[in-house]
Every structure is written in structure tokens, then in C-alpha cells.
A and B are shown apart, each in its own frame.
Chain A
């Protein structure tokens, strides 16, 4: 509890709530739709911030769960009609998928670098698979997959159980922000729990955690699955937002984008990657309007700049600058503590 109710968390929740309440009041409908997309991408970034930043698991294929959820929503809403069950299914399928491949890899003791490569391969395999479904024979009941063209024109979200009450852009924005804030707070709660501390310990030193009796394979599978569930939630919201899905959700660009958001925002924090996602997506929107430079190139350049100059990311660097004076003080205290420990050991 103490960890959840700290000033940083309350600040983030306060700012996010203010945005959720104020945005629809002050901007036009088009911008509300744009900002909904930013909230969805922030949620997607949050999922990797958890898996990579806290679980210490570099998943290069986080977009696989995002894209899978979007496709599951599209296919099932076309078949079912009412959106509640498709939405739940869209979160459930990537979650189960992640639990299975996560368990296979962690119990198989796949090393970190191979884990990153395998997860990237998973998303690229899904890309090839979905891309090659152009013909009319590729359909799941009533839903045609349409290969590169993707699926469009399916139903957006409606109020649970009331298929006539379809949510408008403003209501959808509220839904996105509620899920974003809800997931952020839930992860903060999880991190402050007994289990959350074990998660961080496993990230810090898996061998020591094993020698203390913790099953790191189980812990990592669980962390990975939770991350996939959040990415799935973001993917489902994305499908609802645009009522359009295509194979580019599984491509290399999408897989790299979320990594860049997390690196730029700050690995090891939850709020940083959310801010990184919003800032870079916003930048992408602005850059998209000009013809001078390719957006991808600018993203690549930004990644290099951040890795070299601000390796910890924007958020932790800002935190550090703000508390620089107290850091100096704590370094001095550290020195005193070192002296105290040797005294303590001698005084036993």
C-alpha cells in the first residue's frame, strides 16, 4: 500500500485523470479520436514496460499479442455481433498464447537473447501467415481475412449486453483512459505486493532467487503472461478504435516501435514508456504531415541519440535532475553507511 500511494503514482494518476476528463471538453472530436489512439499506444507501451522493465524479459515480439488481439476482436465481432464476448476473447486468446509459449521457453531455459529472437520470430511468422490469407478460401466462419488488405468495417464497442448502444468517440476515449489508468494502478499494486517484490528480485539476480527457493521459470511465465494480457487489451482497443486491422500490426516496424517507446521513455519505470509512446506517436503524427524526411529514419535517429546520450530514458533522467541535490546528499550518507556496516560487523 505504502508503495502504491506514493507521490509519484498519485501524480501520474492525477495527470491521467485530468487528461481523461478535460480532453473531450476542450478539443474537437477529431482530436479526441487522435488522443484515444495515443492512450491505446500508451497502454501497449505499459505492457512492455512491465515485461522488460520489471520482469527483465526483453520481448521483441510484444506486438504479436497486440496484433493477435486486434484480429481476434475483428474476426469474432463479425461472427458474434455483440461486442462484449469478442472483446473478452480478444484479451483471452493472446494471454493463453503467451502463457503457452512463455512456459515452453522459460521451462526450456531459453537464454535471454534467444528469447528476444524467438519472440520476434513469432510476430514475423504471424505477419507472413496473415499476409498470405488473400483468397476467399481464407475465412473464419463469416469473417474473411483478406491478406494484406486486412479486415475493415466491423462493429466497434457497444455497452455490454446492449448491441444497439454503440460507443461514440468520446465514450471510447473514456474507455481507453479508464483501462490505461486501471492497468497502471493494477501494476503498481502488483509491484508493491509480495509477488511484485519477488518479480523484481528475479530480474535483479535469477540465480540467487533460485537458490532462495523461488521458481523463476514460473515467475517469468506469469510476468510475461500478464504483459501479454495488457498488450492484448491494447490491441483489442485498437481494433475497436479504427474498426480496421491489417498484417502491419505484426510487422518489424510495429515490433521495433514499442521497444523505442520504452527506451526513450525510460526502462524500469511504468510512467516513462507511456509518456514515450505518447510523445513519439504525437511526433509521428506531426512528421506525417511533412515530406522532407522519412518518419522511420527520424525514429531511428532518435533511438540512437537516446541510447547514446540519455541511456536511461527521459523519465528517469528527469527524476534524477529534479532530485540531484538529494542524490549528492545520499552519496555522502552512503559513505557514512559503509563505515557503519564495518563498525556494526565489528561490534556484534
Chain B
């Protein structure tokens, strides 16, 4: 509706919410034996067409605890804050676009 960039931003918001959901899952399962940390591969998720489901991938290079669980709460806390901030930036951008469109519409109406 707005412009091609705004459509991409919309897809970006989808990817961000998928990522935040996985982070919430990881935190909820921080003490579940055998649980493997899940994340979104940002590059490939952004390349994919908007509206397509975002795939969850397992993360390499994390140290597993003796019970086979490899959730690192510090990593998840960082991701939680980062995703939230990125979301804020993207929604701010969209809000500005919408405001500009609205201003243009009210100018036409006179």
C-alpha cells in the first residue's frame, strides 16, 4: 500500500516476531533436559518471499550442559533485547510512512 520498502519492512517485522517467539521458547525450556536452542537464520529468512513461514534452525557452537540442554540464558537475554529494539525501529519507520501518507491525504481534501 505504501511503497516497496514498507512491504519489505512488513516482512522484516514477521521475521522478528518469529525470532522473538523462538527466544521465548528457549527461555521457557532453559531447564528442560535435552532441549536444543532454536533460532532464525536471518539472512535466508529475509531473502524468502514475504508471507512464507519462517524456518527454525538449531544453533551450533553452544556448550551443552550434562543433561544435554544447550540454552545459554545470557545469549537469549541479549537476543530478547535486540529483537525488541529492532522491532521498535521498524515500527517507527512504518509509523512515519503512515503519517506522511495521511498528511498527503488530508492536503488533497483541503
Decide whether A and B are members of one complex.
no
Task: Give A residues with C-beta under 8 Å from B.
Answer: none
Task: Give B residues with C-beta under 8 Å from A.
Answer: none
